[in-house]
């Protein structure tokens, strides 16, 4: 893992630190980058193949899946076009309130995270709304 601090400060909330990561989030599976590349390709193909079954008719759902797909494509492009096949992470955040240095990540990771969490929350509210409709009938 290569680390280069670009902007740093004393207990800064945000720093830009160049780090390469062969693994997934928090360097998980860093010994298997080829499998992560295949998993990313498989995920994109599956999302495209099952897009009609996912019923992404509403704009918010399309945005959520766009964030996920965009994040996957961003990290996948790093893996395919960089030598060695590693993802570049650079956003380093520190939360002084709880004295926690969050693992370094990139914009693609943010897209995947925000899209996935938003979709889970959307699904929970949608499920409650559907149950509410069933009880009214």
- Tens-digit pLDDT profile for residues 62-95: 999 999 999 999 999 999 998 888 999 999 998 8
DSSP string for 33-61: HHHHHHHHHHHHHHHHHTTTTTT--SHHH
**Would residue 10 show up in a list of annotated catalytic residues for this protein?**
no
Measure the CA–CA gap between 22 and 75, rounded to whole angstroms.
Answer: 11
Torsion on CA atoms 51, 121, 13, 76, rounded to nearest 10: -20
Instruction: Decide if pLDDT at 117 tops 90.
Output: yes
Annotated active-site residue 89? The verdict is yes
- Residue 55 pLDDT level (bands cut at 50, 70, 90): confident
Contact 75/25 with Cβ under 8 angstroms?
A: no
Specify the pLDDT at position 114.
97
Query: Is 70 exceeded by the pLDDT of residue 105?
Result: yes
Ranges of each domain in the chain: 3-136
- What the block records as the tokens of 36 is 């992560």
pLDDT(137) > 90: no
Which of 10, 78, 89, 92 is flagged as catalytic? Answer: 89
Q: Which of 5, 10, 78, 109 is catalytic?
A: 109
């Amino acid at each position: 893992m290569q680390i280069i601090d670009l902007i740093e400060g004393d207990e800064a909330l945000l720093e830009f630190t160049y780090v390469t990561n062969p693994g997934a989030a928090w360097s998980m599976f860093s010994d298997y980058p080829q499998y992560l590349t295949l998993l990313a390709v498989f995920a994109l193909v599956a999302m495209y193949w099952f897009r009609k079954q996912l019923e992404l008719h509403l704009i918010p759902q399309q945005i959520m899946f766009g964030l996920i797909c965009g994040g996957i494509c961003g990290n996948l492009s790093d893996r395919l076009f960089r030598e060695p096949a590693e993802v570049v992470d650079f956003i380093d955040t520190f939360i002084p309130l709880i004295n926690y240095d969050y693992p370094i990540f990139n914009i693609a990771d943010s897209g995947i995270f925000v899209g996935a969490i938003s979709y889970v929350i959307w699904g929970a509210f949608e499920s409650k709304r559907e149950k509410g409709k069933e009880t009214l009938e």
